[in-house]
Amino acid sequence: MYTIGIDLGGTNIAAGIVDDNGKIIMQGEIPTGSERGAKAVCEDMGRLCLDLVQKAGLTMDDIESVGAGVPGIANNEEGVVLFCTNLGWHDVPAREYMQPFFNKPLFIENDGTVAGLAESVAGATKGCKTSVFLTLGTGVGGGIIIDGKVYSGPHHIASELGHMIVEADGDQCTCGNKGCWERYTSGGALIRGANALLADHPESLLYKATGGDPEKMSAKIVIDAARENDEQAKIVFDRYVEYMAIGIVTIINFIDPEVIALGGGVSRAGEFLVQPIREAVAKKIFYKNVPYARIELATMRNDAGIIGAAMLGKDNTLAN
């Protein structure tokens, strides 16, 4: 039997048919077109599933279940997307809209959560009973696995790790609060930090790479300049690492995972990013003589959303 995983994004919808070994055998992608409204998007997700089944030479009788990862908060029990800022969704009955297309069990979870599940099944945290996945991109998302099961909490918000408040009265966050962790540890944080220094430092590699134009700044430019020991880039990068350590130590203190896996666009910096984070975390760990979570790079990359969503329907992956 096979399962289908759907990765819903603000720009595109990706989906794939996944076998029992966690391998994608057929996948496809279509534009999201969120301006058309939630019902139209959900119906497109259903049609995409049917199209992939046909292209794979299968029928829906070969499909055990369908899972969807969404960029927001979902109530899997009710099949409702409670809140999704990027799409403008509130209390969307996604299961009701989609199931007429395939009449199979449909599971819905946060996209960071399903990526964490993919890592635990076939990636960096495989074999761990308890792990945390962090996606470092435009924002900071997370996925928590406890005793081998996805954990999103009784109110479905446990994976919103980017909105831990780490700085009282800190930077304004898009969520409405101030001082959220993602304001200091997202790709956007690197960009904002570099742009704050740009005009005053024309000698910097940051300035040379952008011509002094803040619109051309990227997280990659900051990290590449830091690799070259550019003084201004190092200031921004070191501040980023410090805030990453603050959040990770907090996660360790209240979850005590075996592994914390770092994914998302910023993580492509590889060991240049991970090793300083490990060192900063080691300085902040409370229990100096007790083992604590390893910090590793996630390995599933772009396939994590599809594979993790597909695995939602497997036995014992969803916590009660």
Mean pLDDT in consecutive groups of 10 residues from the start of the chain, 320 residues = 94 94 93 94 97 96 96 93 89 96 93 93 93 93 92 89 95 92 96 97 97 97 98 98 98 96 95 98 93 96 92 67
pLDDT score recorded for residue 3: 96
Helix (H, G, I), strand (E, B) or coil at 285: coil
β-strand partners of 297: 262
Fold of domain 127-299: Nucleotidyltransferase; domain 5 (3.30.420)
In tens, the pLDDT along 79-107 reads 999 998 778 899 999 999 999 999 899 99
pLDDT score recorded for residue 320: 45
In tens, the pLDDT along 239-269 reads 999 999 999 999 999 999 999 999 999 999 9
pLDDT score recorded for residue 317: 57
For domain 2-120+303-311, give the CATH superfamily: ATPase, nucleotide binding domain (3.30.420.40)
In tens, the pLDDT along 286-310 reads 888 899 999 999 999 888 999 999 9
pTM comes to 0.89
The residue with tokens 């040379």 is 208
Q: Which residues, other chains included, contact 302 with Cβ-Cβ below 8 Å and sequence gap of 6+?
A: none
Positions of CATH 3.30.420.40 in the chain: 2-120+303-311, 127-299
Sequence-ordered alpha helix ranges (H) in the chain: 38-55, 94-98, 111-122, 182-185, 187-198, 205-210, 219-227, 231-255, 271-284, 304-311
Q: Which of 237, 252, 262 is nearest to 284 (CA)?
A: 252
pLDDT score recorded for residue 22: 86
User: What's the Cα-to-Cα distance from 236 to each of 76, 216, 233, 281, rounded to whole Å?
Assistant: 39, 17, 5, 18
> Which residues of 63-204 form beta strands (DSSP E)?
63-70, 73-75, 80-84, 89-92, 106-110, 131-136, 140-146, 149-150
User: Cβ distance 97 to 38 under 8 Å?
Assistant: yes
pLDDT score recorded for residue 316: 47
pLDDT score recorded for residue 315: 54
Helix (H, G, I), strand (E, B) or coil at 36: helix
Rg (CA), the chain: 20
Amino acid identity of 80? V
pLDDT score recorded for residue 313: 86
